Amino acid sequence: MEHITSEEITGMEKLFRLNLINSVTGYKSANLIATKSKENGVNVAVFSSVTHLGSNPALLGFITRPTKEVPRNTYKNIKENQYFTVNHIQKDMIESAHQTAAKYDEEISEFQKTGLEEEYLDNFFAPYVKQSNVKLGCKFVNEYYIKENDTVMVIGAIEHIYFDESIQAPDGWLRLDDAETVAINGLDGYALPNLLDRFHYARPGQEIKSFFKKDD
């Protein structure tokens, strides 16, 4: 088994280190965050850091890179207007989604350059991605500066959720493989997860029970 120390990580060539550390922590969520500026310009960008923070209230967070040297249109638009959408990336849109990572000028919409379509639902300020099978409308509630690497965690409240009812189980759970939601491996690898099983709530001393496998 390969063994790499922190000293070796520090001494690595930049791109090699970037690829290693971004992939070694496992698969990440693959989402497009869409926003609108105060001048009504629209922006959409791929993020692999969106994560669940809590269900009551329903909160999510994501990490944005440093804003001092490089313009971050997503962050700027959220701070100006408070609203953004989180849109799952599906198998048939990975090329378009990945292209949103290109550094376009602020006045250029990634929607126009990638073939993704903007969609407005229920008078929500920010656009959704029409091709996405799972969409969340969120409102900015807070941010936390992470001094260790000069990044910001943005916290959003989930105000709207859209998905095809066929992917929802009776207990509320969403089967994301049926929605063809992909995951990100590192920065540029896209994978389609295959659901192996789903288990009931784990308790000490209780036998593990599957939702899908019938008892003999």
50 close to 184: Cβ distance less than 8 angstroms: no
Q: Given this model, what pLDDT does residue 39 score?
A: 87
The rounded distance, in Å, linking the Cα atoms of 115 and 107 is 17
Q: Which domains does the chain have, with CATH numbers?
A: 28-191 (2.30.110.10)
pTM: 0.93
pLDDT digits (tens, 9 = 90+) for 58-101: 999 999 976 666 568 899 999 999 999 999 999 999 999 999 99
Q: Given this model, what pLDDT does residue 214 score?
A: 73
The rounded distance, in Å, linking the Cα atoms of 211 and 49 is 29
Contacts of 127 (CB under 8 A, 6+ apart): 34, 36, 42, 44, 85, 111, 118, 119, 120
* Sites in the chain below the pLDDT cut of 70: 66-71, 215-216
Q: Given this model, what pLDDT does residue 49 score?
A: 96
Q: Given this model, what pLDDT does residue 202 score?
A: 93
Q: Given this model, what pLDDT does residue 66 score?
A: 66
Q: Given this model, what pLDDT does residue 182 score?
A: 98
